């Protein structure tokens, strides 16, 4: 299996959710980027292929960041949130992902 041809079933499971936050909104407006929460073993080419397949847009590049889980406590019990990965997807000029419209289709 070549690097270009990735399993379509795998691509459908790469993106977990869009990251909606104040920082994500600022980045989206300023740099034409969208931030997604992705599975922890996702690679840049897989994220690019998944976004292009699901949203029918052209992706210029992808930057990936590992987010460390925070330590939390509940009374005397100490727990830890799990680590996760997020992807900054830079769209081609003029491209846009509208999450409200894509859910209805």
Tell me the whole-structure pTM to 2 decimals. 0.82
Average pLDDT rounded to a whole number, residues 69-76 = 94
How far is 65 from 87, CA to CA, in rounded Å? 6
Domain boundaries, the chain: 8-93
Would the pLDDT of 43 be above 70?
yes
How many other β-carbons are positioned within 10 Å of the β-carbon of residue 100? 6
How far is 49 from 36, CA to CA, in rounded Å? 13
Out of 2.60.40.10, 3.30.70.330, 3.20.20.70, 3.20.10.10, which CATH number does the structure's domain 8-93 have?
3.30.70.330
Would the pLDDT of 102 be above 60?
no
How far is 47 from 59, CA to CA, in rounded Å? 10
Q: Which residues pair with 66 in a beta bridge?
A: 85
Retrieve residue 51's tokens. Answer: 């976004």
How far is 103 from 4, CA to CA, in rounded Å? 27
- Binned at pLDDT 50, 70 and 90, residue 1 comes out as very low
What tens digit of pLDDT does each residue of 73-98 get? 999 999 999 999 999 999 998 888 87
Would the pLDDT of 69 be above 50?
yes
What are the strands, taking DSSP E only, across 13-70? Answer: 15-18, 33-38, 59-67
Retrieve residue 35's tokens. Answer: 């931030």
């Amino acid at each position: 299996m070549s690097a270009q041809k990735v399993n379509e079933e795998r691509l459908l499971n790469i993106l977990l959710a869009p990251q909606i936050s104040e920082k994500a909104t600022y980045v989206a407006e300023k740099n034409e980027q969208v931030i997604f929460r992705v599975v922890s073993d996702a690679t840049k080419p897989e994220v690019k292929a998944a976004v292009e397949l699901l949203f029918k847009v052209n992706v210029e590049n992808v930057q990936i960041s590992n987010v460390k889980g925070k330590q939390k406590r509940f009374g005397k019990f100490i727990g830890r949130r799990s680590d996760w990965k997020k992807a900054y997807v830079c769209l081609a000029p003029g491209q846009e992902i509208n999450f409200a419209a894509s859910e209805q289709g």
